[in-house]
Amino acid sequence: MEELIEKIKSSQSLSQEAEDYLYSISTNKTFAKGEILIRQGQRVKNIYFVTDGCLRSYCYDKNGKEHTLQFAIKKWWISDYIAIHSDESATLTVECLKESKVIEFKAKDLELMLTLFPDFERFQRKILERHVVSLNKRILNQLQLTASERYDLFVEQYPAIEQYTHNYHIASYLGVTQESLSRIRVEKVKH
C-alpha cells in the first residue's frame, strides 16, 4: 500500500483523510502464476494496483486467438476499463504471469473516492493523461513500424517484463504470431 501512497505523493499532495480512506477500501492480495483475476464474460467489479509481480490483460478473437492489450508490473494499474466504463461484462481476461502482490479495489469505491477527494481526482486525471499519451504512441507505432521495429521498442520500453512472459504473450501484444516473433529474434542474433 505504501507503493501506491508514495506514487500519489510523488506528484502531488494527499490529505491524511484521503490516505485513510484509500486504506479503508483496499485489500491486499497475492495471486499465484496462472490465476485469473478477471474472466471474460463475467461482471467486472475490481481494479488492481500491482505492488509486485506481473499480470496481463487480453481478449480472444473469433478464432480463439489471444491478443494482449496490456502488461502490468510494479506500480501499474490493471483491470478491464472497457467493461467498467461501459458497464458491461468483461471482454478482457486478466491473468497473473508470475506470483504477484496486488491491492484490490472495488471500482465503485474508487469512483466514490474520486468524488470525495479532489486530490485523488487530480491524481487520477494525471494518470489518465499519461495513459492516453502512451496509447497514442502505441497506435502510431502499430501504424508505422514493422514487427521487428515494434519488438525493438518493446524490449527497450519493458526490459523487466520479458523475463516473466512467454514469447507468445509478447507476440500477441505486438500483433504478430509467435512464429514470426521467433524468426524476428533469430534475425536479430544474426546481425
User: Could you give the count of Cα atoms lying within 13 Å of 12 in the half-sphere of its Cβ?
Assistant: 16
Q: How far is the CB of 76 from a copy of itself (least distance, A)?
A: 14
Q: Which is nearer to DNA, 118 or 175 (by Cβ)? A: 175
Q: Which is nearer to a copy of itself, 122 or 183 (by Cβ)? A: 122
Q: Is 106 in the site for DNA (CB under 7 A)?
A: no
CA dist 13 and 78 (Å) reads 23
* CB neighbour class for 7 (10 Å; exposed up to 12, middle 13-18, buried from 19): middle
User: 183 contacts which partner out of DNA, a copy of itself, none, CB within 5 to 8 A by kind?
Assistant: DNA
Tracing cell 476499463 back to the chain, one arrives at 81
Q: Which amino acid is at 163?
A: Q
Selected from 37, 54, 113, 176, the binder of DNA by CB under 7 A is 176
Segment contacting DNA by CB under 7 A, of 23-31, 103-111, 125-133, 166-174:
166-174
Selected from 22, 69, 73, 161, the binder of a copy of itself by CB under 8 A is 69
Q: What sign has the CA pseudo-torsion 31, 92, 54, 46? A: negative
Q: What percent of the residues of the chain are helix, what percent strand, and what percent coil, each to the nearest 5?
A: 50, 25, 25
User: 128 contacts which partner out of DNA, a copy of itself, none, CB within 5 to 8 A by kind?
Assistant: a copy of itself
CB 167 within 8 A of CB 181: yes
User: 132 contacts which partner out of a copy of itself, DNA, none, CB within 5 to 8 A by kind?
Assistant: a copy of itself
Binding mask 2-41 for a copy of itself (x = CB under 8 A): ----------------------------------------
